[in-house]
Structure 1
Amino acid sequence: MQSDQPPARPVGRGAKVRAAVHAATLAELVDKGYAALSVENVAQRAGVHKTTVYRRWKDRESLLADALAEHMAMDIPVPDTGAIATDLRALARSLVQTFTSPTGQAVLAAIFTGAAHLPEIAAARRHVFDDRLARAEPVVTRAVERGELPRGTDPAELLKTLAAPIYLRLLITADPVDETTADQAVRVTLAAAHAGVLRPAHDGEPATG
């Protein structure tokens, strides 16, 4: 049986092999979904022998976890527009754009449904989201320093509040997700921050103004 894929060109070693295999893994995920993902097909698409893949990743789960972690961590912009509203809008719209793309949809399906039960995927998911929060926290810190947000605003809580309505639509309600969704998330987040409810709780006290 002939493959519909064009013949893969050989690639070099090291970083080039890793990049090619990661790209092939995501492409297979988009085309066929997690259930049909195989090391053999990834290797063929990447232009390497399957033993090359197995030397670096012990199985398809570790390969997928590595590819997902790198993909989701590398493309988060950290805006610095000089105003918190436009910074958060850029972050929220980037999140919408990422996860409404074909690759983003396939990634979400893998990490929250198809492969969600796997320890490797759970660990990768936690690492990715922790990394996203850490890299975006300066947006909030700068806004507090400029006096745009109340002192004591918790960057992580603010960013989670920003992302929550977007993920709700993507993963639970299946409502449309677009720039309007992103902009509404910004308005809700800023209202909560200005009301003083996005501060960390201390000694069992609620995080209220």
Structure 2
Amino acid sequence: MTNERASPPAGPDSAPGSRRPGGRTARTRAAVRDAVLTGLTEHGYPGLSVEYVAERSGVHKTTLYRRWGGLEGLVVDALDLAGEDSWKPPETGSLRDDLRALTRETAASFADPAAAAAPRAFIAAAFQSAKAADALHAFYAERFRRCESVVLRAVERGEIPRSTDAGALVRAATAPLFLRLFVTREPVDEALADQSADGALAAALAGVFTTQPKPQLQPEPQPQL
């Protein structure tokens, strides 16, 4: 199977999934998305090709080029479609439990090899394609935006300072997990998830994530000799 990357440019009306959101077009888009996910999982981005997606999805290669522009467009649209789900962050009634539930869910989603295969493949693709990287950034930006409600509710309950940066706190809670998963390649578990959440909460309580200017430390005056 060849790894065909060259493709004709997409026309102005050929944005992925831009025609008729329902009916046959929606089914076609879903079939193409599933084929891309399967291909990324089985072969990775370097081994994925338009021919593979065409054969797997049953959509003609000419149609794939016309509507998606080529391999990068297929990967980007698959990730865009994944971001159109109805996922919501936890709502337990306390920031500590919300953060723990969030980090535990993150750890669990990558602990299952079958469930983790597709997101791992998308992240790997982002290192090889600028467009895939942009799509991955948009996907996680939207995920973090949804998670900000966890922090905003905690602010209203008086658990943390009102000027806390919600996005920074949520990123800090999950960052240790992604470091282990994709940089040091160490295992993650529920204990680490709780530790990550508790560390971020402690930092928030200390005012680390507040958006107000921090006081500048003045140097101690030196005694005159």
Q: Shorter-chain TM-score: which interval?
A: 0.7 to 0.9
Give how far 1:107 is off: 3.0
Q: Secondary structure of the equivalent of 1:78?
A: coil
Aligned to 1:53: 64
Aligned to 2:119: 107
Q: What is the TM-score normalised by the length of structure 1?
A: 0.83
Among the aligned pairs, what percent are the same residue? 46
- 1:92 has 2:92 as partner: no
Alignment of 1:42-191 (within 5 A): 42-72=53-83, 74=85, 76-101=87-112, 102-111=114-123, 113-191=124-202
Q: CA distance change for structure 1 residues 22 and 99 in 2, over 3 Å: closer, same or farther?
A: same
Encode CA deviations 1:54-81: one digit per residue, 9 max, x unaligned: 2320010111122123325636432211
User: Highest CA radius of gyration, 1 or 2?
Assistant: 2
Q: Secondary structure of the equivalent of 1:187?
A: helix
Give how far 1:82 is off: 1.2
- 1:34 has 2:45 as partner: yes
Aligned length: 194
Q: 1:197 aligns with which of 208, 216, 221?
A: 208
Asked if the contact 2:110–2:116 (Cα under 8 Å) also holds between the matched residues in 1, the reply is: yes
Give how far 1:84 is off: 1.1
One-letter code aligned to 1:88: L
Encode CA deviations 1:109-141: one digit per residue, 9 max, x unaligned: 443x44424221121122112111111111100
CA distance in 1, matches of 2:127, 2:69: 19
Encode CA deviations 1:29-68: one digit per residue, 9 max, x unaligned: 1111111101111122122222232232001011112212
CA distance in 2, matches of 1:73, 1:166: 24
CA distance in 2, matches of 1:76, 1:181: 23
Q: Secondary structure of the equivalent of 2:90?
A: coil
CA distance in 2, matches of 1:45, 1:13: 17
Moved over 6 A (4+): none
One-letter code aligned to 2:59: V
Asked if the contact 2:111–2:188 (Cα under 8 Å) also holds between the matched residues in 1, the reply is: yes
Q: 1:20 aligns with which of 13, 31, 50?
A: 31
Asked if the contact 1:169–1:175 (Cα under 8 Å) also holds between the matched residues in 2, the reply is: yes
Asked if the contact 2:125–2:133 (Cα under 8 Å) also holds between the matched residues in 1, the reply is: no
Aligned to 1:7: none
